Amino acid sequence: MMKFNTRIFLWTILVPASSSAFTPSIALPASSPSHSIRVQSRLCPALGSTLLRDDVGKAIPTDEGGRKEYTQVPGMEVDLMNGSAKSYLDDGFVFGLDGSGLERPKGKVASVVVEGDSLETTPQQIGIVSATFAAHFYFAANAIAQFYSQSDGNTELTAVAALGTIVASWILADFGSGVFHWAVDNYGNGRTPVMGSIIAAFQGHHSAPWTITYRGFCNNVWKLCIPFGIPTISIISYLAGPENSMVTLFFSVFCAIEIMSQELHKWSHMTVKETPTWVNTLQDLGISIGRVPHAKHHLAPYDGNYCIVSGICNEALDNSGFFRWMEHRIYEINGIESNAWKLDPELRDRTLRGQYQLQL
């Protein structure tokens, strides 16, 4: 019988169940000419029309292997309504949509604007990803072996315990991806300490969501190897100890799935012909997030369907009004409105009235 370990209990609470829906690039328009006036969005009347300054950065089109990549130095826009400057670094960015002063690139064009970011996969990224997944596999396999030994070689018990742990980890990883995705979509900006670049990337993803499909596997997931990598699982395994091997297995799988969530996310933005048959099968079975379910998230005001591992938690979270309840509590605490509220004043009013369920 495995004993309850206080250290493990604390870690299950403190270790962030964050996701990945992490999009390393911020999708800003590169093909829009300077000094072009944007049309005010009907969903964001408060943002007004804007003018893009030409002294901040310029687009550089390249053509490699039939793919177009537009690189733009992070810039600022000037609000014509009041003369103030704003950019993806400010709260006024609001997903980089029409009312923010930015235009969606025409066609399926990749837009990479984060300084130092690139769609090119580097040897360093390959090394980090390879080492991370090798470590996760080692910790998971060792945890199963320890449990097998503790169960006196009971194969059936070990198989059931391992499978149950993996399924539970998969479900919690989906839930964690949704909470993290909701948080960075709706709060903060590029200037937010520590999380600024991730927040800007998530929010900018809405203006050119296909950019993620231009990334190779290691280029797409390597940044998530930092929070969910070797140091994290090593600490958790140490705190759990050999007597709680299933805890180590749980978090080994959890961290690996959170890293993979970015790739699962990428697949949901690709067509059936662009992905292998086995990927389409995983989506059909609901093991990874499908194209149609995730497409629902990309409908303004982006107020639901946040989970991007499998999406299995989306219906329950949206029907229960979980995220609206969270937004209401945050507003009561600090008066900050979610970006979804800024896009849809009616959503704001319903939430403040306590009508939390997502309107389908």
Locate all alpha helices (DSSP H) within the chain, ordered by sequence.
6-14, 123-150, 155-186, 196-204, 217-221, 230-240, 245-268, 277-285, 291-297, 314-320, 322-334, 339-343, 345-352
pLDDT of 199 strictly over 70: yes
Q: Which residue has the higher pLDDT, 336 or 1?
A: 336
What is d(CA 55, CA 324) in angstroms, rounded to the nearest whole number?
Answer: 40
pLDDT at 21 over 90: no
Which amino acid appears at position 299 of this protein?
A: L
Asked if residue 306 has pLDDT above 60, the reply is: yes
Confidence band, pLDDT 50/70/90 cuts, at residue 84: very low
Lowest mean pLDDT among 80-89, 126-135, 248-257, 294-303: 80-89
Q: What is the pTM of this model?
A: 0.71
Give the Å distances, CA to CA, from 320 to 6, 24, 126, 295, 325: 31, 31, 41, 20, 9
Task: Report d(CA 238, CA 188) in Å as an integer.
Answer: 34
pLDDT at 348: 94
Higher pLDDT pick, 50 / 89: 89
Residues 6+ apart with CB under 8 A from 292: none
- What was the pLDDT predicted at 110? 73
Q: Picking from 55-59, 116-120, 352-356, which range would have the lowest pLDDT averaged per residue?
A: 55-59
Is the pLDDT score of 155 beyond 90? yes
pLDDT tens string 213-255:
999 999 989 888 888 899 999 999 999 999 999 999 999 999 9
What backbone torsions phi and psi does residue 61 show, to the nearest 5 degrees? Answer: -75, 140
Q: What's the pLDDT tens digit per position in 161-197?
A: 999 999 999 999 999 999 989 998 999 887 888 777 7
341 and 297 Cβ atoms separated by less than 8 Å: no
Q: Please tell me the predicted confidence (pLDDT) of residue 129.
A: 96
Whose tokens are 């964050």? That residue is 18
d(CA 239, CA 223): 25
What pLDDT, in 10s, does the model give residues 35-77? Answer: 222 222 333 333 322 222 222 223 333 344 444 433 333 333 3
Percentage of the chain lying above the pLDDT 70 cut: 69
pLDDT for residue 82 is more than 80: no
Please tell me the predicted confidence (pLDDT) of residue 337: 93
DSSP assigned state of 309? S
The SS3 of residue 29 is coil
